[in-house]
Each structure stands twice: as C-alpha cells, then as structure tokens.
Amino acid sequence: MRSIKYILIFVAVILAGCSSLRLSPADFSWPVESVIHVDDNGRASEDRYAISFNAKPLYFEENGDSLAYLDKELRIIRDTLGYYYITGNQFKNVYVFTMKDGAFNLEEKIQIDEKGISNPVFNQRTPYIELVEGNKEYYLSNKGIEKKEK
C-alpha cells in the first residue's frame, strides 16, 4: 500500500512538471506597418521590433530574380495571432509567414493583382490586416482575402 502511495506521488510530481504554462489571451500585433529598406546584401532589418531576415528568397519567389531587391523596400506588419504579412511596391502578392526555429516559414501566398500593386500600405484592423492600394482596400487574414472594399 505504501509503495502505491509513493508511485502516485511520483506520477503526480512528474505530470505537474510536464504541464505547460499558457498565458492567454495574448496580442502579438504591431500597431502600424514597418517600412524596411533592403540593404545591398539582401538583408532586411527593423530595429524597432528587433527583426532581421534575408529578403533574397522572397524577391526570387515574387520576381524570379534574386537581385530584384536592390534599392527596394518591404512593408511588414504583424497581426494579433503573430502572423507576419510582407509585400512591396510592384509585388503581385502578400506573403504570410510564421516564425519558427529562427526562420520565417511561408504559411500563405495571397495574390492581390497580376500586374503588381503600387504603393501598398498595411493597417491593423483587428481581426484583419488592411492592405490599402490606391483606392482599393483588402482585408486579409492568414487564410487569404476576407473581404475587398472599393
């Protein structure tokens, strides 16, 4: 009987140590977009949010040219769930990324315009990310375009 008691206490301690701490709700959003200049080495970095990444593969995915980053800027914003939305001038798509193991992982590629968008601007419109392009507004989620306004 005594050994069963010790076994139960041991199992309870092990299970208590294995439980994960969850802090909820949490809001990961950035209030405004960041406009990031891509340097001559293809590196995009934003000091305010301590973010830095290699932008060359993104430009290769978008244009088929890994040197298309020269003298360019990217627009990036983060939603409440922690997804990163990235696009740039003359991009056809908005790229939605998650961060895992020290890298951005593509979750969704959202096509906006086959000709490319001009002067895009991101805004936080919880629960969506608003993309303004000229007189068009797109409300985006990590799944795609949720609604489009004129």
Percent of residues, the chain, with pLDDT higher than 90:
67
pLDDT score at 103:
94
Pairing verdict, β 51-54 and 136-141: unpaired
Q: Which of 117, 110, 115, 116 is nearest to 139 (CA)?
A: 110
Query: Average pLDDT, stretch 60-80?
Result: 93
Give 28-62 pLDDT, tens digit per residue. Answer: 898 889 999 999 999 999 998 889 999 999 999 99
- How far is the CA of 136 from the CAs of 37, 74, 130, 139, in angstroms? 24, 19, 10, 10
| Spatial contact of 33 and 123, defined as CB atoms under 8 Å apart | yes
State how far the Cα of 121 lies from the Cα of 130, in Å rounded to an integer. 8
Q: Return the closest-CA partner of residue 90 out of 120, 64, 51.
A: 120
pLDDT of residue 58: 96
Q: What percent of the chain has pLDDT over 70?
A: 87
pLDDT tens digits, 132-150: 998 999 999 999 999 876 5
CA 135 to chain centre: 24
Count how many Cα atoms sit within 13 Å of the Cα of residue 63 in the half-sphere of its side chain: 18
Query: What CA–CA distance (Å, rounded) separates 126 from 142?
Result: 13
- 88-46-68 Cα angle (round to 5): 35
Q: Give the pTM.
A: 0.83
